[in-house]
Amino acid sequence: MNPYELLQTIVFFITLLVLIKPLGSYMARIFQGERTFLSPIMTPCENLVYRISGVNPEDEMGWRRYAGAMLLFNLALFVSLFVMLLTQHLLPLNPQKVPPFTWQLALNTAISFTTNTNWQAYVGEQAVSYFTQMAGLAVHNFVSAATGLVIAIAVIRGFVRRKTSQLGNFWVDLTRCTLYILLPISMIFSLVLVSQGVIQNFSAYRNLPLVQSTSYDKPKLDDKGAPLKDAKGNPVVESVPVKEVQIPMGPVASQEAIKELGTNGGGFFNANSAHPFENPTPLSNFIEILLILLIPGALTYTFGVMVGNTRQGWALLGVMLLILITAFAVLQWAESSGNPLVVKQGIQSINMEGKEVRNGLAGSNLFTVATTGTSCGAVNSMHDSLTPLGGMVPLSLILLGEIIFGGVGSGLYTMLAFAIIAVFVSGLMIGRTPEYLGKKIEVREMWMSILVILTAGVTVLILSGIAMITPTAVASMANPGAHGLSEVLYGLASVSNNNGSAFAGLNANVNFYNLLGSLAMTLGRYVPAIAVLAMAGSLAEKKFIPPSLGTLPTDKAPFALWLTLVILIVGALTFFPALALGPIVEHLMMVS
């Protein structure tokens, strides 16, 4: 890493850490119903929402009602987007006259955006109208993130509250989260991104003449559409001149900030944050990475404030930072070492394939670990082009269960489930009935934590097994061999963990991936969400056990290290064979 990159990385992490406390305590105030500096503006809006929707903000919900409201709301989101995608040709703001989605793709996309996955089996600039982008996808970016966040808040309340079944009101949490947190931050950063050159318009796509015209070879087709071949059996090609280029337009900036902030990751354009209209400068790149990690990071502080001991939050943040920085270091090392095959030719070079020069190696790598450590899934470089070991880093971060900062809300609650498992084993090891934050960990908490942390992993194991023996699934690979296996594994890990990024090589718009992916995204989002709410319900009903000398402190380094180990060991034990047959063997073959 050169000094400039090192400085950039250090400045980045300092900025992130500086922002965590103010935002974290602000979010705690929001969810504890306290007044903030935004209250004069937002309280009237908030009350208006309640009046229109007939919500009684004083009405507290038990976990079943809370989960029920969450599911109902998400069902409504899904249906609205599904219908919109199927009928977008009839709706306004469609200057490019894009056609409707097929039902399989619409199903996949609607589930993808509702579950905060933002897996995109379509090409944004070719398939989606401005109306769908704004009224559909952007709205979902806000509310799917808010859904994750309020579930996490309900779980925190489960730890905080004593002898009650009430976890808060889903509608109130959702409204406050959107109005006080997501909207204001997105508004500010949309404008900042516009200042960097991110576009925001409703124009039709523009055709611009190329400064230097070019041409490409196109295979000639016969009447039936099959490629023509010459006498020797080689395909007949014709040269097609290219004098113009079509530049896609659109309301990008308004969607860009929430894409990162809500760890959604669904790009306006297919190239996502590698596209200059989404992420034009190194500064915009810096801001986008920051936005990805901002809420998941700050939420650990919110957690600390709400449970009455901010060190508990710092401990979790420490675990996340430790793994994230380690992952970044490994990725940076792998990519600086270059492609082993190239190195073998005696050419020492860093691996810049698939990366944008303006983002640089460190700027691309930091984005890569941030977007896969969280369940964001936006990309500013092509993960498929990473070296085998480099590519294993984002893949592993996803397979760990999206907890290294993790998705907005979902990262924290999944991490808490890991903490419960870690507390359970370590509690036994010190000879006590395990307790976390003063709440006893019993059979029910174990079941629920296990569902939270293993649902995605189990889904990946089952689906990747099915995929590797399904011919259509294998045919979608862009590369054969071990790398193809990595592509499939990455894709299925991405949907099951609600990340949404792709290894890019895989052609995902086939029924196999659309339908199985829809199933994986649904399971990966709602099974843990319901399980964790059920756990919150049972935790809230427990009494608080004051810590004593015999209680294991969970806000200190030894426990944080143990938690880190548990996370890494669970991940490694679950996926070691698959990784051995994918990136590891690919690397070994390249170096041998």
End-to-end CA distance of the chain: 26
Least Å distance between CB 351 and another protein?
20
| 8 Å CB contact between 351 and 335 | yes
CA distance 287 to 8: 12
Least Å distance between CB 469 and another protein?
4
| Partners of 221 in the β-ladder | 227
CA distance 315 to 79: 40
Does position 330 bind another protein by CB under 8 A? no
Residue 278: DSSP 8-state: T
Least Å distance between CB 412 and another protein?
22
Q: Select the residue interacting with another protein from 484, 491, 505, 537 (CB under 8 A).
A: 484
Least Å distance between CB 489 and another protein?
9
Does position 565 bind another protein by CB under 8 A? yes
User: What is the widest separation between alpha-carbon atoms in the chain?
Assistant: 87
φ and ψ at 206, to 5 degrees?
A: -110, 140
Stated as kind and residue range, the H or E segment containing 208 is: strand 206-219
- Residue 188 or 565 with smaller CB distance to another protein: 565
Does position 562 bind another protein by CB under 8 A? yes
Least Å distance between CB 483 and another protein?
9
Least Å distance between CB 487 and another protein?
12
What is the identity of the amino acid at 127? A
- Residue 274 or 485 with smaller CB distance to another protein: 485
- Residue 226 or 469 with smaller CB distance to another protein: 469
Least Å distance between CB 243 and another protein?
42
- Residue 245 or 557 with smaller CB distance to another protein: 557
Contacts with another protein in 538-557 (CB under 8 A)? 543-546, 548-553, 556
Residue 206: DSSP 8-state: E
Give the residue from 497, 537, 495 showing the smallest Cα distance to 516.
Answer: 495
Task: Sort 218 into a burial class: Cβ within 10 Å, 0-12 / 13-18 / 19+.
Answer: exposed
Contact map string, positions 427 to 466, toward another protein, x by CB under 8 A:
xxxxxxx----x--xxx-xxx--x---x--xx--xx-xxx
Contacts with another protein in 521-540 (CB under 8 A)? none
- Residue 154 or 441 with smaller CB distance to another protein: 441
Contact map string, positions 392 to 431, toward another protein, x by CB under 8 A:
-----------------------------x--xxxxxxxx
Stretch near another protein under the rule CB under 8 A, chosen from 117-125, 321-329, 494-502, 571-579: 571-579
Least Å distance between CB 524 and another protein?
15
| 8 Å CB contact between 524 and 461 | no
CA distance 115 to 517: 12
Q: Select the residue interacting with another protein from 1, 91, 350, 585 (CB under 8 A).
A: 585
Give the residue from 335, 323, 410 showing the smallest Cα distance to 365.
Answer: 335
Residue 240: partners with Cβ closer than 8 Å, 6 or more residues away? 215, 216, 217, 218
The 10 Å CB-count burial string (b at 16+, else e) for 151-184 is bbbbbbbbbbbeeeebbbbbbbbbbbbbbbbbbe
CB-CB neighbours of 75 under 10 Å: 11
Structure tokens belonging to residue 313: 């939050």
- Residue 92 or 558 with smaller CB distance to another protein: 558
Q: The tokens 């670990």 sit on which residue?
A: 369
CA distance 513 to 30: 40
Q: Select the residue interacting with another protein from 134, 322, 350, 588 (CB under 8 A).
A: 588
- Residue 247 or 466 with smaller CB distance to another protein: 466
CA distance 199 to 208: 17
- Residue 490 or 559 with smaller CB distance to another protein: 559
| 8 Å CB contact between 528 and 452 | yes
CA distance 522 to 112: 8
Counting Cα atoms < 13 Å in the Cβ hemisphere of 580 gives 6
| 8 Å CB contact between 288 and 192 | no
- Residue 299 or 578 with smaller CB distance to another protein: 578
Q: Select the residue interacting with another protein from 84, 485, 493, 536 (CB under 8 A).
A: 485
Does position 481 bind another protein by CB under 8 A? yes
CB-CB neighbours of 498 under 10 Å: 33
| 8 Å CB contact between 485 and 388 | no
CA distance 262 to 299: 12
Least Å distance between CB 429 and another protein?
4
- Residue 127 or 453 with smaller CB distance to another protein: 453
| 8 Å CB contact between 449 and 421 | yes
- Residue 187 or 565 with smaller CB distance to another protein: 565
- Residue 150 or 454 with smaller CB distance to another protein: 454
| 8 Å CB contact between 411 and 528 | no
Q: How many residues bind another protein (CB under 8 A)?
A: 66
CA dist 307 to 166, 519, 555, Å? 16, 35, 12
- Residue 128 or 452 with smaller CB distance to another protein: 452
Contacts with another protein in 250-279 (CB under 8 A)? none
Least Å distance between CB 523 and another protein?
14
Stretch near another protein under the rule CB under 8 A, chosen from 98-106, 321-329, 481-489, 525-533: 481-489
Does position 322 bind another protein by CB under 8 A? no
Least Å distance between CB 518 and another protein?
21
Stretch near another protein under the rule CB under 8 A, chosen from 127-135, 205-213, 287-295, 482-490: 482-490
- Residue 13 or 544 with smaller CB distance to another protein: 544
Q: Select the residue interacting with another protein from 16, 559, 571, 583 (CB under 8 A).
A: 559
- Residue 54 or 546 with smaller CB distance to another protein: 546
3-state secondary structure of 227: strand
Question: Which residues contact another protein by CB under 8 A?
Answer: 421, 424-433, 438, 441-443, 445-447, 450, 454, 457-458, 461-462, 464-469, 474, 480-482, 484-485, 543-546, 548-553, 556, 558-559, 562, 565, 569, 572-578, 580-581, 584-585, 588-589, 592
